[in-house]
Chain A
Amino acid sequence: MAEPLLTLDNGTTCSSWNFSGTRLATGSAIGTLSIFDFRDPASSSSLRCTFKSGVHDGNIVKVVWVPPEYGDAVACILADGTVSLWEEVAEDSQPLQWKMCKSFGSSSSKVLDVQFGMSLTSLKMVAACSDGHVRVHELLDPLELKNWQLQAEFQNVIESGSAFGKALCLSASISWKPHNGQCQESSFVLGFNSNTSELNSSKVWEFDQAHQRWLPVAELARPEGKGDQVYAVAWAPNIGRPHETIAVATHKGLAIWHIGMNPDPDGRLPVERVALLSGHEGEVWQMEWDMSGMTLATTGHDGMVRLWQSNLNGVWHQQAAFESKS
């Protein structure tokens, strides 16, 4: 039942599928970026490599696709904490090729995770950095992935006054609210795995159009768990449920949160933890919701892939698990 699609080169460290699941990008420990395409549409076999090139000296730790409205492009996050943006273009009647169009980096901190989100007018890239800062970059020209400007920078804390200078973050996880075609304000959820407990807990950030600033509208942690280091977050697609659903993985397990739609007078959204599930022992590497937001797939340090669902009574449980076998 597991159908092999592709064999990866030695040293491959990360992979990512594009929005339609038709292209795969992989990064390697020696800085190679590879792109694989299906030869025929509607085929689920015959993946072939259409681009392969060393693009950096360092280790590519994560590859993230840019939304398709902005072309075929990926962001490569490197172990040294820089991010480079690569785009497939045919310019001036030259053949199609992948070109680097932008590099992000700073000497003071490393980028741990980036994710792209679309707002009404533009493309935004959220970068979570090792100093606990969140930087939101905005694309200026929808057809040019070269031109970005820093739109906002803030720390992942609820109280805006406090600042934590000496934070050291090991990893971060960002998940945008999946856009469903309708015009809406942009939101994302972000959690850190750091030595500073205030930064850790997952917070939902929403862009306040009127004042052109990002506001924390919800914190996804119980009072006793606010300092828990967050391994991964995932915002579920909402196909019409009266609440949003977000999964948060910490060392205590996998929490499923419901977030209400109507803010209270302070502008905070009501939140409810509907499940705390245990399964993966240790770190959770990745969480992915299916297209309906009904099934959550997770993978973690135990080398398992686990699937989680809610039953007819609304009780969340582990539905199945897959053990990696040679």
Chain B
Amino acid sequence: MPGVASDSGDGRSEVSVSSNGALVPISTEARNSIVVYPLHHGLEPPIARLAISWSRGNSLRVSVFRPPSVEGSGESEGQVGGKVVEVKLSDGDPEISDAQWRRIAYGSVSPFALLQSRRSAISSLSWGSASTSPYHLDWWEYVMEYSKDISSLLSGPKLPSNPIIEDSKTIFKKGEEPTSLKAAWELMELFYADKQSQAWLPERLVDWLADYDSLFSSTLATTHSKLVDFQNVLVNLQVIEDNPKYWEVMSSALAVGWLDIVVKMLRLHGSYQLDQLSNREIENGLVEAVAVLVSKMPRLRPESAAGQLGDCLKSKPDFIKAWEKWRSQITKLDCSAFWIQCNNHQTREGLKNMLQIMLGNTESLCTATCNWIELFISHFLYIRPFTMGVDSMYILAQKCIQLKPVSSAHRLTGLMIGILGENTEVVLAECSREYGPWMVAHAIELLTAGSEHAEILLHEERHNLGGISIVELHRLVYAQVLSSHALTWQIAPIYLTSCMKQGMGLLEILLYKQPVQHNEMLLKNIEICRLYDLYHVSSNIMKVAGVYHWKHGRIGSGVFWLQQAQDAIRLHKIAQQLFDSVGKSISDESFKQWEGLIELLGSESKTAGGLEFLRKYRDFKKSLQRVPGEKSIDAAREAVQSLILLMKNPSTPQRFWLPLLYDSLKLLNWQDQDHPLLNVSETNLLLNKLQELSLARLRPDFIEPSLPPNALSSVRLALATNLGRAMLDE
């Protein structure tokens, strides 16, 4: 996802520039000339003002305002006053659609997380040793497993096999559409992670080119495109060996080591046809001899892919022996007298040229190959078939570029040069520029596995970066890209929590910025907070949600979330407001509405901010309602207990004291039996409260309950009477 529409310019010079590193993937071609991108908004000038705002991650929203047109000035009515546009600063790889990118992003989470947990498991095992490096005997095997998992995600769509051309004439077929991203990944894998095949690196490169040669066709001539062209004319050819293309394509395929294609094409040679065999014996013999030599070519590799030709040899001495023998066979054939007897000029020259290629004739190879990479690969096959160090590969690559200069570089070649040049910064810069933050954040695991030098370079904490390492920086950048999309932000925490220094800080901001309106999304948020012990963040999120619901008239939801956030201050304020409406409505028959809320409040007092009073009040009211007749003495006693509890409880608001007592008049005036319901101390408690209330009434902020004017006096009278009776009773 490199920045905005980057145009791979002219190659090397800019690599060194961007190796200085862009933090966020916005490509710049050179430091001095800033790239100016157009911001299309569709408004006619003049523009009066712009306003900017960062949205999720790194998308920027820009408001563009036109100057207000004066009314009646003749300008068209209802003229547009401005536009709001969103600019995504991390546009994806143009080869890959947004939806496909998201699939890759989702799929890379598990391999990445597994690798990180293995890393921390290893470093916790070896904490005694001073080194923080995860070097471990098997570490690269873990990295390889990771790399294979990632690589499998990058596969393009499977291509249907093409049945139009009959099989004998189908000279090549491909299982899937290659992508540049996968080619880049595999290139890095084989140089950095795959320690097992280091010994067969040149052969791995041959295979790599066989898989991805077609990608270069966009900017360079390739053997692949030659093959495709030839395949298209093949059906119409009568005498194939008379066509110079036939020989040209074949020698190109041979030069890059596509032996099976070469042999298949050789067998299309006209001399194989039954009616020709007799009069073209010698010619056919030569063709077959070359085909045999091609298919017997010794290869220094453990095994070949299924159906591929060549003799695979694992050990170098065996290989050298076989190689010498094979070469002597070629030389022998080259000097053979049969050539003179072969009277087909095309065949003779074509086959001879192929022998030259196999003998490693530089000129022939140079002619046969289509671009410098092919030439480079052909060197491994025919000139220097033994293992070669990366440094000499680099020199060779430079030589090949000189021999076959390029007018426009391909995005893969920059990466390859960086890898061969063993320049970690260039490799990172190329990954970032051409493939974007996903690539950098994930490929860095391959790079650090590549060498101790790279490991140190990338994990070193840098003052210039605010104390973080390059690895962490790129994870932060990638996490920010993930945050830009509403569906992928949830996987950003995986990457942020793998950042030692600044990941949690960014995660907190990211979580805080998520909308709270919908419970499902809110709960997904809170779940992330729970996973990473970010309780202060979740409590803040729940507070925001609580206020949102409360302000939007959803009292129950508001109280619930504020309770979860343990926001005693706001709950207390809410309690005061609710008591106002309770005072008005709860004595009516609208109890059922409050029922649910009161249940929600639960019995836990600590988080309810005084709201638990509502529950006690409800219980009291209920017990009072159960005292309809004069007979239910038990119910009445229960009601009295509720009343006393309520009056004793400090959380009972003062303004409810008088209404509570007034509601209880029938308890205070209980005449059914000789004994009053309240004893002396209970009556005294209530009288004290009444006394306190009369003092409070003098204060200016006192809220007078809406009760009949004689309420106070009738309560006072009832209490006094009750006190008298209770005294007598004791």
Contact = CB atoms under 8 A, between A and B. Distances in A.
Contact between chain A and chain B defined by CB under 8 Å:
yes
Interface of A: 1-17, 19-22, 24, 26, 28-29, 41-44, 47, 68-72, 87-91, 93, 96, 141-144, 178, 180-182, 237-243, 285-286, 288-292, 294-295, 297-299, 303-305, 307, 309-315, 317-326
Contacts of A2: 39-41, 62, 85-87
A128 B240 CA distance: 87
Contacts of A237: 509
Interface stretch (B46-54, B147-155, B280-288, B356-364): B46-54
Interface stretch (B299-307, B548-556, B658-666): B548-556
Contact of B552 (A7, A96, A288, A326): A96
Interface in B56-94: 56-58, 60-66, 68-69, 78-89, 91
20 contacts: A1-B4, A20-B515, A21-B54, A21-B56, A28-B68, A44-B486, A68-B544, A69-B543, A93-B553, A143-B547, A181-B512, A285-B50, A291-B483, A309-B26, A310-B464, A320-B28, A320-B34, A324-B50, A326-B43, A326-B44
Contact of B506 (A142, A292, A321, A323): A292
Interface stretch (B182-190, B197-205, B567-575, B679-687): B567-575
Given A28-B81, A286-B52, A294-B23, A313 B464 contact: yes
Contact of B52 (A239, A305, A318): A305
A20 B513 contact: yes
B55 A13 contact: no
Contacts of A96: 552-553
A150 B25 CA distance: 45
B42 A4 contact: yes
Interface stretch (B166-174, B497-505, B696-704): B497-505
B61 A5 contact: yes
A90 B54 CA distance: 30
A88 B551 contact: yes
A315 B22 CA distance: 11
B157 interface: no
Given A12-B65, A44-B486, A288-B52, A181 B508 contact: yes
A240 B508 CA distance: 11
A268 to B, nearest CB: 22
Contact of A180 (B39, B69, B508, B517): B508
Interface stretch (B465-473, B642-650, B669-677, B720-728): B465-473
B480 interface: yes
A321 B547 contact: no
Contacts of B26: 307, 309, 319-320
B81 A10 contact: yes
B39 A322 contact: yes
B262 interface: no
A239 B543 CA distance: 22
Given A70-B547, A292-B506, A295-B58, A322 B36 contact: yes
B23 A314 contact: no
Nearest to A307: B26
B3 interface: yes
B90 to A, nearest CB: 10
Given A143-B573, A312-B20, 16 more contacts: A4-B41, A4-B42, A5-B85, A21-B53, A41-B518, A71-B548, A72-B548, A240-B467, A286-B52, A291-B480, A305-B50, A311-B22, A312-B470, A319-B28, A320-B36, A326-B42
A288 B547 contact: no
Contacts of A22: 515, 517
Given A10-B68, A15-B51, A290-B58, A239 B513 contact: no
Nearest to A8: B82
Nearest to B50: A299
B277 interface: no
Interface residues of B, number: 106
A118 to B, nearest CB: 10
B127 interface: no
A312 B21 contact: yes
B45 A17 contact: no
A8 B63 contact: yes
B31 interface: yes
Nearest to B64: A324
* Majority secondary structure of chain B interface residues (helix, strand, loop or mixed): mixed
A177 to B, nearest CB: 13
Given A8-B83, A96-B552, A310-B464, A299 B52 contact: yes
B41 to A, nearest CB: 7
A16 B41 CA distance: 18
B157 to A, nearest CB: 25
Nearest to B55: A21
Contacts of B50: 285-286, 299, 303, 305, 324
B463 A297 contact: no
A101 B84 CA distance: 28
A19 B505 contact: no
B3 to A, nearest CB: 7
Contacts of A20: 513-516
A242 B462 CA distance: 12
Contacts of B65: 8, 12-15
B317 to A, nearest CB: 47
Contacts of A295: 23-24, 58
Residue from A238, A309, A317, A322 whose CB has the most chain B CB atoms within 10 Å: A322
A163 B47 CA distance: 40
A305 B60 contact: yes
A297 B60 contact: yes
A10 B573 contact: no
B510 interface: yes
Contact of A69 (B38, B513, B537, B540): B540
A86 to B, nearest CB: 13
B81 A8 contact: yes
B119 to A, nearest CB: 21
Contacts of A181: 508, 512, 534, 536-537, 540
B521 A41 contact: yes
B425 to A, nearest CB: 8
Given A69-B544, A181-B512, A305-B60, A239 B502 contact: yes
Nearest to B58: A290
Sorted nearest first, the 6 A-B pairs with minimum C-beta distance are: A239-B505, A314-B464, A90-B553, A42-B486, A312-B21, A8-B82
A313 B20 CA distance: 7
B516 A68 contact: yes
Interface string B557-595: 000000000000110011001000000000000000000
Contacts of A317: 31
B87 A322 contact: yes
B513 A19 contact: yes
B463 to A, nearest CB: 7
Nearest to B500: A240
Interface string B515-527: 1111001000000
B5 A1 contact: yes
Given A8-B80, A96-B552, A294 B87 contact: no
B266 interface: no
B440 interface: no
B78 A10 contact: yes
A293 to B, nearest CB: 9
Contacts of A9: 80-81
Contacts of A291: 54, 57, 480, 483, 506, 509-510, 513
Contacts of B88: 1, 3
A314 B547 contact: no
